[in-house]
Amino acid sequence: MRAASDRGRVVFVRLPVLSDHRACARTFVVRWLVLAIVIGTASSAAAHQSSVKYVDITVDGAHATVKLTVAPSDVTEPLGLPADARPSARDASTPAVAAFVAHWLAIDRCTAAAPTAGPDPDHRFVVVTWDVTCPERIDRRALALDFTPFFAVDQRHEAILTVHVPGEDVEPHVVRESEPHVTVRAGEAGSVVDWIGYGMDHIYSGRDHICFVISLLLVVVLVRARDGGGWRTRTPLAALRATAAIVTAFTVAHSISLIAAALGWIALPSRLVESLIALSIAYTAIEDVLKPDVRWRFVLTFGFGLAHGLGFASVLEQTLPPTHVIVPLLSFNVGVELGQLTIVAVALPVCWLACRARGPAFYRRIVLPLAAAPLVVVAVYWFVERVTM
């Protein structure tokens, strides 16, 4: 019993192992439900803050024009509004906003003129524009850019940077908090590594995608005994095979819809897509508890994967360059897959060890419902929020 209790402490992360499983379950579920509420509300607060900003620099001789595009909800501070306010693009196009945004970026050895702010043609975003003058021609040398103030506002920000000469289309760079100082040449394209990293970052920052992957993995370690009377823990190899089937279905599906949507072949309302993603988490987590041995789960996973791919595309489609999109698109998708595999590499062993340590019957009866409960709570919260947004 002592050894079993020690194992219980490892599996249940500091929760006391009680002889009364019901008391243990109550304590466990309360803590996990609190965690789910915190995750849901945190993501709600962050949803108003657009993590991606677009920086367009057009170089002409010793002069350059900088355009930095932001969502109106990103500039509530200089407007004197609450952080969760949603001003219109026109209301956010003020001199105070222009000065606030222009401070985010500095170009080495160049003097900046006074910035202006105005709504974009669709009146969805604010475009802050300013000119810079340098002591020598900058269309033939590298530009040294400092994004340190940009990331001081929010480390989760990402800058989609394009530096080009007039009349040329160039693939953008992705600038992250880890490298705030960037040196680029006019007309120079971003690297494949940038786009792979962008895809991985999107997975790691996407709580809904992480929750869905975890909901898929909760049951792959379980299999019904051949006599039909109970459950047993899958061998590591069998669990890997089951995981491969589900993850492959998800990967193929979201790759298809991601590519199709990013290329403009499919277009669905963002509210519908994001709501479907939330529903996919809730349904899968509930199915984990009610029927963990569904044989056709990979088919349902494929269908849900199509919705998740559209979610990926909603982020990517505004980032892709107007031409030569294949390399950035495929590289982003590779990054998504790599990020997804790292999540599987962590979550799958945890699920298998939990099932092995406490036994398949206990895992099926206690651990599985308690692990699925916070996923359902946060998914329903997201669904309601997205339907009403």
pLDDT tens-digit map of 222-232 = 888 776 668 88
CA distance 268 to 49: 22
* Strand ranges in 33-82 using DSSP code E only, listed in sequence order: 52-60, 63-70
Question: Is 115's pLDDT higher than 90?
Answer: yes
57 with 40, same domain? Answer: no
Q: Output DSSP code: residue 1.
A: -
Same domain for 70 and 13, yes or no, is: no
End of a domain among 157, 190, 223? 190
Domain match, 340 and 378 both: yes
CA distance 51 to 70: 9
Q: Are residues 29 and 118 in the same domain?
A: no
Residues 210 and 174 reside in one and the same domain: no
Question: Same domain for 342 and 383?
Answer: yes
pLDDT tens digits for range 121-142? 888 889 999 999 988 877 666 7
Picking from 16-30, 167-181, 313-327, 334-348, which range would have the lowest pLDDT averaged per residue?
16-30
pLDDT at 322: 55
Q: Is 264 helix (H, G, I), strand (E, B) or coil?
A: coil
Same domain, 41 and 57: no
- At 237 the three-state DSSP class reads helix
d(Cα 300, Cα 304) in Å, to the nearest integer? 6
CB-side exposure of 115: number of CA atoms within 13 Å? 25
Q: Are residues 268 and 367 in the same domain?
A: yes
* Cβ(147)–Cβ(180) below 8 Å: yes
Q: Of the candidates 164, 190, 216, which is a domain's last residue? A: 190
- Whether residue 118 is found in the same domain as residue 73: yes
Q: Do 126 and 68 meet the contact criterion of CB atoms below 8 Å apart?
A: no
Per-residue pLDDT, 105: 92
Judgement on whether residues 73 and 177 belong to the same structural domain of the protein? yes
Same domain as 7, residue 144 = no
Q: How confident is the model at residue 93 (pLDDT cuts 50, 70, 90)?
A: very high
The stretches of 235-296 forming alpha helices (DSSP H) are 236-262, 270-290
Mean pLDDT of the chain: 79
As for how many domains the chain has, the answer is 2
* Residue 99 pLDDT > 90: yes
Domain membership of residue 292 as a residue range? 2-47+196-387
Domain boundary (150, 168, 190) is at 190
Q: Of 4-13, 122-131, 154-163, 359-368, which gets the smallest average pLDDT?
A: 4-13
Question: Does 209 share its domain with 286?
Answer: yes
Residue 205 in contact with residue 156, Cβ under 8 Å? yes
